[in-house]
A = this chain, B = another copy of it.
């Protein structure tokens, strides 16, 4: 094994860290990891090599050891229908004691290394994850159902940017105070002089609970924020999306060991789903940080029961589009159709509730009735998804049977405006692919639209007026949460009213998106993902509140 001093990593990545520190203050465009999977960027063989590396894992035991592990589990199923069959060390509830004890033992040396050394190690991990980005993209694709390019971007490059962003915020907070200061208080005779030392100490063991749809993008910010702040991290992946996080843990352990730290600072806790391992881990006294992405039910449970820890949750909500008027009707229909189709609507940021006034809307193509808008979105979906080969690159595949069940049950709940249809995948004959369903509802169908129907189901809701649309958005977002909101209007007063409602409801707002930016997307270093200001999430990627509680400052003082 090649060994390196942690300071080597710190100096190797110092410039990148400095750039990221500037970027988080400006919130302008910044990206450190190219999002294009082009051979011109990543080299001629990168794609094939990455794919081969991914395929080499299939059907094999993944070479990781987890303290307290007992046997193996193999719980993944590809939404594209290939056999995955990778097995991982299984952690049972009775192995947790050992796992946490080993993690705790690793704390002092990692703590004492300090923010610079820890940042260097974390940025080296990100560099090596980038070197395996094609392998990771395949792993994300075949566990989440994302199409390849999306898996490469959202699951690779953009996830790396989000991780870097979290490291930068953490570093910024850890180093905002000096390591030492001289305190000199004027006195009657002579000043009192004290030397004071301020040391960043970790909060404790961190638990990262992964999700099925975005195993890396949603987990890396929390994992790297906790790790760089000095906390060991136990990674509990979603049973259907283990491989991307197993690779992550492997890379973490490799770099930690090279730098002379205990590899068990980052461990994989794969489970048999029947063990409900996350709930067992999340209430342990040693676990002081929990990051979670997933259902409202379990997220709320964690917030209520994991009171010994700081719990960061991203759950779900009902994302709303208020359609009032537009100066680009085609652009609007295309943009909405794209947002509904992208990854089969399986994004926590995908729009669900589209409000249209009963009187219709004014557009650059004349007045359009409610039915016209439905037809316009339908036509845009047809255009985007008419060709199966192109459709699958946008849709990806249905991530799990739950989504399919919800889709199948949905049509009875409203008027079918645009039907969902199965799409045959030209490469993967067993892939489960569906186009979005658009259902017509009325304003009093709140029992349907006030609940999230995760997957390719959206509602076109007829309202008495735009004012009513905005008021309903404000109320449903406050009560049921929302990750995103969107408005189409040419009326400044409507815009002002929607902005005000978004502040009241604590929801990020996209205005008049008619081009190549979609409400589902949030850009690292510029867009905050989630706000923590409504029930959809109690935190945001990434702000100071997301990192500042992951460490503590312990001081000592003495006469100078």
Contacts and interface: CB of A to CB of B under 8 A. Distances in A.
Interface of A: 25-29, 108, 111, 173, 176-178, 181-187, 192, 194, 196, 198-199, 201, 203, 303-304, 307, 499-500, 502-504, 506-517, 523, 526-528, 531-533, 540, 543-545, 548-549, 552-559
A29 B196 CA distance: 11
B508 A181 contact: no
A559 B517 contact: yes
Contact of A557 (B503, B510, B531): B510
B201 A503 contact: yes
6 contacts: A27-B198, A192-B516, A196-B527, A509-B554, A531-B554, A543-B548
Contact of A543 (B523, B531, B553): B553
Q: How many copies does the complex hold?
A: 2
B554 A533 contact: yes
Contact of A203 (B29, B183, B203, B533): B533
A28 B181 contact: yes
A452 B553 CA distance: 24
A557 B502 CA distance: 12
A325 B523 CA distance: 58
Nearest to A202: B533
A556 B523 contact: no
A29 to B, nearest CB: 5
Contacts of A111: 503
A500 B499 CA distance: 51
Contacts of A183: 27-29, 523, 526
A479 to B, nearest CB: 10
A287 to B, nearest CB: 15
A554 B507 contact: yes
A508 B540 contact: no
Nearest to A556: B509
Greatest chain B CB density within 10 A among A196, A304, A504, A544 is at A544
A182 B307 CA distance: 40
A31 to B, nearest CB: 8
Greatest chain B CB density within 10 A among A177, A181, A503, A515 is at A503
Contacts of A203: 533
B185 A27 contact: no
Nearest to A515: B559
Given A307-B304, A515-B192, A176 B25 contact: yes
A283 to B, nearest CB: 11
Contacts of A184: 28-29
Given A27-B177, A111-B503, A507-B554, 19 more contacts: A25-B176, A25-B178, A26-B178, A28-B181, A108-B500, A183-B526, A192-B517, A194-B517, A196-B527, A198-B528, A201-B503, A303-B307, A508-B556, A509-B555, A509-B556, A509-B557, A510-B556, A540-B553, A549-B549
Contacts of A303: 307
A27 B178 contact: yes
B511 A527 contact: no
A192 B29 CA distance: 10
A25 B177 CA distance: 5
A457 B37 CA distance: 69
A181 B27 contact: yes
A526 B523 CA distance: 37
Nearest to A559: B515
Contacts of A508: 554-557
Contacts of A178: 25-27
B556 A527 contact: no
